[in-house]
Structure 1
Amino acid sequence: MPLIALIGPPAAGKTTVGEALGGRLDIPFIDADEEIERRSGYTPESLAVDLPPQEALSILSKTLAEILGDLPADAVIALPSRIIEVQDAGELLSGLRVVFLDVDLATSFPRTGLGAPRPVGFVTPRSLWHQMLIERRPQYTSIADNTIDVSGATIETIVEQIVALALIKPV
């Protein structure tokens, strides 16, 4: 069974789907964000806010390379949404079955916590989020082997779609 890497924007459900998929296939699940924090000392938030972008991406790339090199033969890993910003992402993910969890605005935005009522303005968090989803989609699809639209789908349905890709065998 190939290693399965889940990619997608924030709030696509990578961790939730990864945990369920690992359980369904009876293989380990690794949350790369947690593993990056454990190994580097940086949370996803601190990498995004506290460090200059190039330094953050360098730490992310180096730490992900270590994590991917240490993966067991059979595993599911939920990768950080910023994987598309890593210069050598395609090379880094070679040998893994990469599944892009594509999500729409209506499904992802409420999960972010940004949906609380806000004063009306020219730029809203919702419009920025929508723009981010649109701009990043081609980058995710360029490094993915398969794309699954998770918009409005149940976790069980998404897991079964991944299993049904015929690239992996269910237990």
Structure 2
Amino acid sequence: MTRDGRASIILIGPMAAGKSWLGRGLAQSHGYAFVDSDEYIVAHHGEIAQIFVDHGEAHFRDLEASSIEEILREDLGERSVVSLGGGAPMSERVRRLLQGHTVVFVRVDADTVRPRIMRDASRPMLQPDPMRRWQEIFDERVGTYEELADIVVDASGPRDVPELVEEIHHAVQDKKHQAESESHEVG
């Protein structure tokens, strides 16, 4: 949570789901700060593909969890939108860090991500057969994404960022109102 107790909005989902674009759009349209955990890692530790080559996936996952912890601790002192890498929520440490924040699962199908993946060969987890590997990884992770999600938004097909931003914004507001109603009923 931010220093004033407000939760950040955390975007999770598979590689190439559009979490970064969506996060930037959501943050910009609503005056929130935006942090992409992969960009944070690159800025502080170097290229992700090179970290995988030099140190392996286990080292990267530790570095990723530490970076997310720093992001959420600093949280820029204000309401933030944070986009996580596709594998980040698989870590128990990261799952604990997400508690108290609004988690949005950006669901997307293989047909939607295919053009994105095929034009970006820099994703070390997807080699040597990017689409087959993407589907395998998605199938392994989807249950965790669904379990963690407070909100699920389907970004499959020809949906544009403004439309998805509004859908997320309304869902977050609905969750907030629901939580306020429940707290008044208890009190």
What is residue 164 of structure 2 aligned with on the other side?
Answer: 158
User: CA offsets, 1:44-86, max 9 Å, x none?
Assistant: 3233343223222211111211111000331111111121232
Q: Distance in 1 between matches of 2:154 and 2:169?
A: 14
Q: TM-score, normalised by structure 1?
A: 0.84
Are the aligned partners of 2:16 and 2:113 in contact in 1 as well (CA < 8 Å)? yes
Q: Distance in 1 between matches of 2:130 and 2:57?
A: 22
- Structure 2 letter corresponding to 1:79: L
Percent identity, aligned pairs only? 30
Alpha-carbon shift at residue 97 of structure 1 (Å): 0.5
Which residue, 62, 67, 71 being the options, matches 2:71? 67
The alignment partner of 1:50 has SS state of helix
Structure 1 unaligned segments of length 5 or more: list them: 117-122
What is residue 14 of structure 2 aligned with on the other side?
Answer: 9
Q: Which has the higher contact order (CA 8 A, sep 6+)?
A: 1
Q: Distance in 1 between matches of 2:38 and 2:176?
A: 24
Task: Decide whether aligned partners of structure 1 residues 59 and 6 sit closer, same or farther in structure 2, where only a CA change above 3 A counts.
Answer: same
Structure 1 stretch displaced more, 14-23 or 48-57: 48-57
Are the aligned partners of 1:57 and 1:85 in contact in 2 as well (CA < 8 Å)? no
Task: Decide whether aligned partners of structure 1 residues 141 and 15 sit closer, same or farther in structure 2, where only a CA change above 3 A counts.
Answer: same
Which residue, 108, 113, 128 being the options, matches 2:118? 113
Q: Distance in 2 between matches of 1:124 and 1:35?
A: 27
The alignment partner of 1:2 has SS state of coil
Across the two proteins, how many residue pairs are aligned to each other?
162
Matched, 1:47 2:47: no
Q: Distance in 1 between matches of 2:32 and 2:119?
A: 34
Are the aligned partners of 1:33 and 1:43 in contact in 2 as well (CA < 8 Å)? no
What is residue 119 of structure 1 aligned with on the other side?
Answer: none
Alpha-carbon shift at residue 17 of structure 1 (Å): 0.3
Q: Distance in 2 between matches of 1:37 and 1:75?
A: 19
What is residue 106 of structure 2 aligned with on the other side?
Answer: 101
What is residue 141 of structure 1 aligned with on the other side?
Answer: 146
Task: Decide whether aligned partners of structure 1 residues 55 and 127 sit closer, same or farther in structure 2, where only a CA change above 3 A counts.
Answer: closer
Are the aligned partners of 2:37 and 2:64 in contact in 1 as well (CA < 8 Å)? no
- Structure 1 letter corresponding to 2:144: Q
Structure 2 unaligned segments of length 5 or more: list them: 1-5, 122-127, 178-187
- Structure 2 letter corresponding to 1:139: T
Give the number of the structure whose residues are more often helix, by fraction: 2
Within 5 Å, give how 1:80-91 maps onto structure 2. 80-91=85-96
